[in-house]
């Protein structure tokens, strides 16, 4: 049986105007999705976010929130109180990512066992 080779990949396969690499949840930021889930129910203070985000340092949380704010996914509101109060919330743009996140979570739940079995088989074959 003769198999034909697939056509070569074209050099312009990826649209140079496609912004996919700059999308916050696709940029490889480890904590972005978890932070978004924490903010899904409404605004939260920094200290509230630290509770479910075990393992994140204050520095990394601050950097992540700042990056998400820069991307327009999160808003930061300072209240003129004593002591000062700051809250973070998803913006309307950030909320548009919740549906795709749900789809990826659903896919993960449905395929996790198969994915883990494939990893284990690969690792066993490597030994």
Residue 16 has pLDDT above 80, yes or no: no
Q: Could you tell me the pLDDT band of residue 18, with boundaries at 50, 70 and 90?
A: low
**pLDDT at residue 27, rounded to an integer:** 45
Residue 75 lies in a domain: yes
Q: Is the residue at 4 inside a domain?
A: no
pTM of the model: 0.75
Mean pLDDT of 60-66: 93
Q: Which long-range contacts (CB under 8 A, 24 or more apart) does 4-7 make?
A: none
Q: What is the pLDDT of residue 21?
A: 55
Q: Where residue 79 sits, what CATH number does that domain have?
A: 1.10.10.10
**Which pair of structure tokens corresponds to residue 105?**
């979570």
The alpha-carbon radius of gyration of the chain (Å, integer) is: 20
- What is the spatial distance between Cα 68 and Cα 94, in angstroms, rounded to a whole number? 9
- Neighbouring C-beta atoms of residue 62, cutoff 10 Å: 12
How many whole angstroms separate alpha carbon 76 and alpha carbon 87?
Answer: 6
Domain count, the chain: 1
């Amino acid at each position: 049986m003769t198999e034909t080779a697939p056509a070569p990949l074209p050099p312009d396969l990826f649209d140079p105007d496609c912004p996919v690499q700059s999308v916050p949840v696709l940029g490889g930021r480890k904590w972005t999705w978890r932070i978004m889930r924490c903010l899904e129910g409404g605004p939260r203070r920094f200290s509230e976010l630290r509770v479910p985000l075990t393992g994140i340092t204050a520095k990394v949380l601050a950097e992540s929130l700042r990056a998400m704010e820069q991307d327009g996914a999160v808003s930061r509101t300072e209240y003129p109180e004593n002591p000062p109060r700051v809250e973070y919330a998803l913006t309307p743009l950030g909320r548009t990512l919740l549906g795709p996140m749900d789809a990826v979570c659903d896919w993960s739940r449905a395929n996790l066992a198969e994915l883990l079995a494939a990893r284990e088989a690969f690792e066993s074959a490597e030994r």
